[in-house]
Each structure stands twice: as structure tokens, then as C-alpha cells.
Structure 1
Amino acid sequence: TMDVPQDAPTHCPGTESEDAGKSSACAGCPNQNICASGEAKAPDPDLSKIRDSLTNVKHKILVLSGKGGVGKSTVTSHLAYALSEDVDCTVGVLDIDICGPSIPQIMGLQGEQVHSSGSGWSPIYVDDNLCVMSPGFLLASPKDAVIWRGPKKNGLIKQFLRDVDWGTLDYLVVDTPPGTSDEHLSIVKFLSEAGITSAVIVTTPQEVALLDVRKEINFCKKVNIPIIGIIENMGAFVCPNCKKSSIIFPPTENGVKGVAKSMEIAYLGSIPLDPLIGKCCDSGQSYLQSPHAQGTLSYKNISNQIKDYCYISN
């Protein structure tokens, strides 16, 4: 439940309990005094500000993965590119991968700085209908390390939701760090008033990645985030010279499709392991500018499924 502090002891009674801050389990907890005083029960006034700030954002979609290195930021950016190909559709990308913000590099926005105005922070625009906000824009240099504890990370996520002038968006696509950590709990809590539409989960085909995917699916179920489906990234490799198809990450049993079926969520499709995708991300260009590439067709097919889901859920 969301009323248990993130750094709480194992047997935390929860902030709503009469024993909050008073039970033996609370001894040594950093939140003990706050819970005992009743302050923890007070609603966060910023939640209503976040709701007001995101009033005109129709669909908030989290991009999640259990494991790092599965290409989540690449998928986030290219789903945003695909959704924004409809010129009547406005799309925002929110990067909350605070310790490893790669969205600025991938979307060709390195060196950009955040600007403030009377209406808040202004996101950086890639196109007339595609904008981005990332912790990378707040760093003096892309080489700078972000060495922050949980509360400071949570504060920045709150600021991005409360103080950024997102305007009117059809989709806000949120790139998250891997796992089920502080940042995930924070984004779920902060969007609770404004409403999370859903999540998509990204994985690679090998079993070591799929083990963590099952945990991510269970996390979504526990915090009541609907799952649009699961995306297999880095699927078949097609040699650019001989055009022969190879499986670099061989799945065990039925792979991603098997996990999707066993956990009763949709399988959205497979994105190939194409060297051109890596080149485009390194140079800050959209891979979708290669209209006949197999991966482009995959991204467009997946984005159409996301649109259909959002249209039905609306």
C-alpha cells in the first residue's frame, strides 16, 4: 500500500494506523517522529498542484523495465517519435532516469538548458508537437555524475510534474530507471491525483531479463497501474550485408511471448537488433526516418496499439 513510507521497517504498521510511530517495529525508523505526531497522515498539498499542472495531459504512460540495459530510453524516445508523426497529436517525454539521463543524447538535445518563465519551466522542443524534459538539461556537463539520495530524487520528480509548463498534450511518455525503486514509487504517488493511464514494459528475450520482468509486472499490479503490454527489444538481428537473420539473445521456452501469455498481458511486438538504431541514438536522430526499415514498421505498429488502448480506455 502507498501509506507505508519508502524507508520504513519491515513490519511498518503504516501511516494510517493508530500505532504509527508507536509500535516496537517503529524503533529506529527515520520517520518515527513524523508518524507519531500525525504529520504523515496529512495530505501532500503538492498533489493537487500536480493534478492542476497536468489537467490538459490526456494520457500518462510509464515505460518500465525490470533490468537495466534493455533499451528502455531508446524505446521511449522512438515511441514518442512514432506517436508524434500524427501532426495533430502533441507528445511530451519526461525523463526520470535521474542518475543516467540518456534521453538528451538520444533525441539530439545535448547542451540544451532549461528556461524558466512565469508559467514554470519550459520543456525543450524537438519538433512543433514533441517536447522533452530531462535531468540532463540541469547538468553543467553530460559527464557530471548525479549522486543523490532518495528524497532529492523525489523532489526533482515532483518539480518536473508540478512546475514544468507541459501545456496541452495527448501523450506524456515517462522514461524510468530500471527496477522498482524510489523513483517508481514517487511517480506513482505523484500521479495518483492526475491519473496514470498505463505502462508498457520493455525487455530483451533472454531469461535473465525475463526474470526481472515478472517482478515489474507484479509491481504494476500491486500499485494498480494498468499494463498496455510488453515489448521485446533487441529481437532478431538482420545482417545489413547478407540480410541473414540471427538470434543474438536466444530465448528459453517461449520467451517474451510466453511470459506475456502466462501473466495475462498483451505482447505488443518485437523490435529487431538493428545497428542503425544504435547509430541514430548516438547521433541524436530518429531511426523512424528510415521508413522501410523493419524496426520502423515495428515501432509504428506498437505505437498504433498504444493509441488504440488509450482511445478505448478514454
Structure 2
Amino acid sequence: MEDSDAITSNSAISVDIIENCSKKRFNDEIQPNRKPCILRDIDIGLCKTKWTVDYLCQNGGDIPVKIHVSKTSQMNFITKNYAYKTLPFKELVRRAAENKHEEYFISDNEYYYLRSLGTDVRKDVADVKKQFPQLADDILIPNFFPEDSFFSSVFRIASEKLQLWTHYDMMDNLLIQVKGRKRVVLFPPTDVENLYLQGDKSEIMDIFTPDLSKYPLFAKVKRYEAFLEPGDLLFIPALWFHNVVALEFGIAVNVFWKNLSPHTLYDKKDPYGNKDLIPAARALDSIKHAIKLIDGLPADYKDFYGRRMAELIRIKTYIQN
């Protein structure tokens, strides 16, 4: 991928920037608007100045962390073009901050990505206070949501130029950018049929110069773009697709909360918070079953009833503009 600073998109819509946002404004205006927004000049604590490479290495300790390691800057969840490895936290920080490595797994210019996990990765959610207690007091998480809605706080570290796959999350979240600049490209939920999904991930990795002969519908997407500076918070509403590029070595904390009531809509066995809502997951399974039922019909009948089902879904579920 070429230098992200050199890539421009005339069609991109700049995400709004709100300074000194209050809890009331966030709850009354920003969250109900259901659009991404950069929140600037909010106190995130001493982490903004304290979280240097040396400080994190000294205070983060030898706690082992599971990471993604790739020889390419574009990590693709679908093709799995990376390896899962484990490093002591302080060693990960040191390597991720380098461009050339004396010690490495794949190559001396490999890329690193940490998405922190719970103590038991199959059951526990990520929580900075639990997994990184020695660093937790350095960061202030804005109280923009009810305490009982909190789901997780995810520590993220990325090598310079690292790009993550396009995906959506099931919960509202704030991406707190602590160190380094970051570029985030977002697509609204209404573009779901233009993003060539496998599960909650898009097949299209190169969103800046996509192969439109292979992905023609991608030309229809409505692109939003945010450039984050250290200290910025990006509000990402649930279901908004996002693709993230670290323009520099980056440190961030993602905070997720259950924005819908009742909370029983969410799968309680989901430690990552990215499984479809329980009613939606059941509906998708029913659709897959319905497709199997008509699969044996002649092609013209299958086409006819497929279109009927699609039209019924459109009439009953789409927001009519």
C-alpha cells in the first residue's frame, strides 16, 4: 500500500469534529444522530503524555499478549495473511515502534497488531483495568454511557502503516487515540450490500484503489473519513463499517457499551462483542434455511422465489426514505 498521507479521496465526506463535548450533548445530539463524529479537547488523562515507548515498556511488564504478525501492512481477516504469536507486552511495544527489527518472526520489517483479550479468551471480555492494572489509572474514559452498559475496554497497539480489514461492530464505541495519527474510513450500514461481506468482514481490503471489475458495487458506497490526532476520540455507532490505517506507530483504547435495551438482545457468550444480536442471528439462520428449501427448484423458479423473498424483506424491514 502506498503512503496513506498521499492517498486522497475527493468523494469522501469529512467526519464532523466537535470540541469540548459534554455528556449531555453526546446523549442528546451525537449518539441519537447515528453518525460517526470526532470528539476533540476531552480530558483522557495522563496517558496522552505518559504513554511513551519507554514508559510502557517499564510499566506494562512481561505480561504475555497474543498478537497478529504480518509481512504485509494490509492485514486481511478473511485470507488470514498473518500469524498469531505471543510476546511479552514490553517486547511487543518495542518491536511495534520499530520499522526494522533485529528480532522477528517472519521478516525484519514485519508488522504488529495487538487487540487485547480477556484473561480467558473464550469467556472474558477485554478490560484495561483487569489486564493492565498498572496502566489503567493513566487513562480517563468519558462517562458518556451508563455504567451498567459498559461492555469492554480494548487496548490496541499497531505498527506504522498497518491497515486493518473493513468490519462492523454490534455495539456503539469510542476509539480513544492516545499516541500516533490514524486514518479511519467509514461506510454507513445502508452500504451493506455494496461491501461484499463474509460474516461481519468485507472482502475488499484495498479500499483506496479497489478492483472495481471484481467489486463493481463498491463504486456506490458513501465514504466517510476521519483523521485522528493524539487525544482525539472517534465515536463509531454500531453497524457502521470501518477500515483503520495507522499513519504512525499507534496506541489506542476502544471502549464498547451496550447501547440497546434490553441487554439480553446481545449474546452473553460473545467475549468480543461482534456477534449479531440474538433475534438477528436467528433471522439470518432462517433465511439460509429458506434458501436451501428452494435450492432444488429449476433456475427460473429459484430466481422468482428468491426475488419474492428479497422483496418481502425489503417491504417489511427497510427504512423507507
TM-score, length basis structure 1: 0.31
More helix by share: 1
TM-score, length basis structure 2: 0.30
